[in-house]
A and B are shown apart, each in its own frame.
Chain A
Amino acid sequence: EAGVVQSPRYKIIEKKQPVAFWCNPISGHNTLYWYLQNLGQGPELLIRYENEEAVDDSQLPKDRFSAERLKGVDSTLKIQPAELGDSAVYLCASSSWDSKDTQYFGPGTRLTVL
């Protein structure tokens, strides 16, 4: 079974530029999560999807961050414009309806904003 796939693995951009991250969850997993992980910290939830519906986006900075999960499968997280403080690892995770407590994480995208 393929795991959660994320791309790109690394991204370096200059501040004020836009950036997008892509996530393909495990097949059949209806719940998808985007997390932000700063160096030396644990992941912090940005947004959670149940199928194509964003059910928890309270921690998503909506002035510059946006996300979508069209057709309830793949998801894209976008930052526009990026700021220096956005440098972090962006993790995607998914879980299935019959095992909601276990999340499967992708390898993450390491973003560096210069």
Chain B
Amino acid sequence: SQQGEEDPQALSIQEGENATMNCSYKTSINNLQWYRQNSGRGLVHLILIRSNEREKHSGRLRVTLDTSKKSSSLLITASRAADTASYFCATDSLRGGNQFYFGTGTSLTVIP
């Protein structure tokens, strides 16, 4: 079963604009990750944020985590057409065991 749920399900923006997508999850976690999936491809790891962190940056990516609300957001600044993809959040289980639960994904379209 899916642990996380992304919002919105689909997002369409102009190149150069910022894109924000959100993830909500159900149970307590050790860390949360964001992955990107281009059409017909496997998932690519973008960034990991641990439960004791509130914000993390990587290039044009900014991730926040609010464990009290069980939610995370991914911000992509100055978007490019190449950012067009589906974005998934993945959470682990506090029980451990390296099992990750993926959300339903946000489909991002960046219009050139």
| A residues apposed to B, CB below 8 Å | 4, 31, 40-45, 48, 55-56, 91, 93, 95, 100-108, 110
Contacts and interface: CB of A to CB of B under 8 A. Distances in A.
Contacts of B99: 45, 48, 56
A87 B7 CA distance: 26
Nearest to A104: B45
Interface in B28-69: 31, 33, 35, 40-45, 48
B11 to A, nearest CB: 15
B43 A41 contact: no
Interface residues of B, number: 25
Interface of B: 1-2, 4, 31, 33, 35, 40-45, 48, 88, 90, 92, 97-105
A58 to B, nearest CB: 9
Nearest to B48: A101
A46 B108 CA distance: 27
- A-B pairs, top 10 by smallest CB distance, nearest first, are A42-B102, A105-B42, A105-B43, A42-B88, A107-B42, A43-B102, A102-B45, A106-B42, A100-B98, A42-B103
